[in-house]
Structure 1
Amino acid sequence: MEILIPNRLSTLGHPQRLAVFRLLMRRYPDRVPATELARALLIKPNTLSTYVNALMQAGLVTQERVGTSLRYAIHMDAARETVDYLLNDCCRGRPEVCVPSAAVPRPDRARKANVLFICTGNSARSIFAESLLRHVAGDRFEAYSAGTNPRDGVNSEALSLLRQSGHDADRLFPQSIADFQTADTPAFDFVFTVCDQAANEECPTWRGQPVSAHWGLPDPVAASGSDAEKARAFQKAFDVLEHRIRGFAALPLASMDSLAVQRAVDALGQSDNEGMLT
């Protein structure tokens, strides 16, 4: 331990290695292909290989080969071990100084929890999630959605599917995440990214230290093929999100500590990945 921690901290002291680590943290527990990492961070593949090898040698990142593709993920136990060392060893005797800002009291469950869903265009997936949460548990959650590069309007196929499913789609429209960075916008309790591209981008720091998780799934707007095949892509996205939203709404949040909540929402982001998303 005494040898590992300084090596990990030294490894993370390099800006580009830290950038790889931070992106993988945003995508956790996903395993991200090397080609996607290089593209998202604008790093040459051979340079990326050097960075991830250093992170793996420090024990912070794991590698998996899927066919001809190498995929990487955070070694979360090692990441927690490193943070715990800083808090419990380096800060021994000064807990009031070292408690991280994320360790704030849970939000008051007497009020509705504010939830934000983010994707790139805010025209289908995040719109589905916003409407679904409002429909399933609008008495306990205030649902919002936004895009990192919002479209001019909600996708017509998405609107049609929502209306067919009994949702009120008239109040839905694309918004930018910048719209939720003003003094008038609410502090969020939960922030979910529902597309890989949005998760790969640097998002702002949200007020209130919300629980965040990645619930990525394919973009139905990008689906190709016949009209029937495109319609199925929208239906799959809707069904997966409905499953996750219902699971989220069923969590006994009032009786869960912050770590249990984080693990639960991370697990929901992996549900259906092997079935409905293929």
Structure 2
Amino acid sequence: MNPTLMADMMAALAAEPRIRALQALVRAGAKGVPAGDLARRCDVAPSTMSFHLTQMRTAGLVESRREGRTLFYVASLPALEALGHGVMTGFCPAAMPGAHPPAPSPFAPNPFVPSTTGETTMRAPDREPPLTVLFLCRGNSARSQMAEAILSREGKGQFRAFSAGSHPRDTVHPHALSVLRRANLPVDALHPKSWDVFGQPDAPAMDFVFTVCDDAAGEPCPVWPGQPITAHWGVPDPAAFAGTDAATAAVFNDTFRMLYNRIALFVNLPLASLDRLTLRRRVDAIGALPRDPEATAPAEPTDSSVPA
């Protein structure tokens, strides 16, 4: 796991009420717990619990969802699992199951190699060639471009990221470029392109294909070479927001954070030790993280809205 991400997560847990709140959220499962109930269980003021939850949410350990007027908090089990795995591999590698797995054949014809159980496991991500990931949205102007840029850096050469859209725009959204530049991510090579490019026989075979908008997830996709693992990682469309430049920038910041948290969990999965079915479940679980009602809510799309 990225040491910076691990440090952020561990710092977000550095208070007893946060540990007790997170334990309560884990026990509650997918239904979650309202912030007020957590405050009472942990015997702290509601404002204090709100602060603790914000810190854990920023680190990706907690997500939230709104039901009517009540905000429920949910533990991010993929994030907790990634943190636990990062601690074990970083400090106690010999204690990890399969700490010394046999090296996969360099001549494997696809990204999965046979295991002794008859299942298939993902090739080790630190071996050539890198694993390929395609992010899809309708306009390929914001969310998928941000996801491509994030994975290109966070994958540290172990992943090769691409993005495309079903109806690509002419240019990348200027606010998407701004948030990427503020994160010191390169943007010069980013440009919208049709997803048809990646359905051609000579296109690179994809190991993973993730849709990051609901529109793209509902459209008929090309047949992807290589039979990739697919999942839906939908996040709200920041380009649909109608507001001031400052408010729009806040919406794009929220979108960047949500995508970053999901991608950080993904790159820390123990890919070489997971069979295909388990891996599919893990990437589905990342995509199923609750959408963020505390993020700046986009307005309903208008005729002038640019699909992302």
TM range, smaller chain: 0.5 to 0.7
Determine if the alignment matches structure 1 residue 140 to structure 2 residue 158: yes
1:39 is aligned to: none
- The one-letter code matched in structure 2 to 1:223 is F
CA offset at residue 184 of structure 1? 2.4
Asked if the contact 2:146–2:256 (Cα under 8 Å) also holds between the matched residues in 1, the reply is yes
1:246 is aligned to: 264
Superposition pairs for residues 187-226 of structure 1, below 5 Å? 187-226=205-244
1:136-162 CA distance string (max 9 Å, x none): 013100000000000001011111111
CA offset at residue 217 of structure 1? 1.0
Asked if the contact 2:180–2:187 (Cα under 8 Å) also holds between the matched residues in 1, the reply is yes
Provide closer, same or farther for how the CA distance between residues 251 and 237 of structure 1 changes in structure 2, counting only shifts above 3 A. same
Structure 2: how far apart are the matches of 1:138 and 1:155?
Answer: 25
Structure 2: how far apart are the matches of 1:144 and 1:105?
Answer: 25
Q: Looking at both structures, which has the greater relative contact order when contacts are Cα pairs under 8 Å and sequence separation is at least 6?
A: 2
2:146 is aligned to: 128
Superposition pairs for residues 107-186 of structure 1, below 5 Å? 107-109=122-124, 110=127, 111-186=129-204
Superposition pairs for residues 28-67 of structure 1, below 5 Å? none
Structure 2: how far apart are the matches of 1:152 and 1:223?
Answer: 19
- The one-letter code matched in structure 2 to 1:125 is R
1:82 is aligned to: none
Structure 2: how far apart are the matches of 1:266 and 1:229?
Answer: 31
CA RMSD of aligned residues (A): 1.9
1:73-101 CA distance string (max 9 Å, x none): xxxxxxxxxxxxxxxxxxxxxxxxxxxxx
Asked if the contact 1:120–1:147 (Cα under 8 Å) also holds between the matched residues in 2, the reply is yes
Provide closer, same or farther for how the CA distance between residues 187 and 248 of structure 1 changes in structure 2, counting only shifts above 3 A. same
The one of 235, 246, 271 equivalent to 2:253 is 235
Structure 2: how far apart are the matches of 1:197 and 1:163?
Answer: 27
Asked if the contact 1:107–1:189 (Cα under 8 Å) also holds between the matched residues in 2, the reply is no
1:13 is aligned to: none
CA offset at residue 107 of structure 1? 4.9
Structure 2: how far apart are the matches of 1:252 and 1:108?
Answer: 10
- The percentage of aligned residue pairs carrying the same residue is 47
Structure 2: how far apart are the matches of 1:192 and 1:203?
Answer: 12
1:265 is aligned to: 283
Structure 1: how far apart are the matches of 2:187 and 2:272?
Answer: 30
Provide closer, same or farther for how the CA distance between residues 188 and 276 of structure 1 changes in structure 2, counting only shifts above 3 A. farther
> What is the TM-score when the length of structure 2 is the normalising length?
0.55
Unaligned 5+ runs, structure 2: 1-66, 69-117, 298-308
Unaligned 5+ runs, structure 1: 1-65, 68-102
Structure 2: how far apart are the matches of 1:240 and 1:274?
Answer: 8
- The one-letter code matched in structure 1 to 2:286 is L
Q: Where do 4+ consecutive residues of structure 1 move more than 6 Å?
A: none
- Structure (1/2) with the larger helix percentage: 1
3-state SS, counterpart of residue 162 of structure 1:
helix
CA offset at residue 267 of structure 1? 1.1
- The one-letter code matched in structure 1 to 2:123 is D
Provide closer, same or farther for how the CA distance between residues 137 and 158 of structure 1 changes in structure 2, counting only shifts above 3 A. same
- The one-letter code matched in structure 2 to 1:219 is D
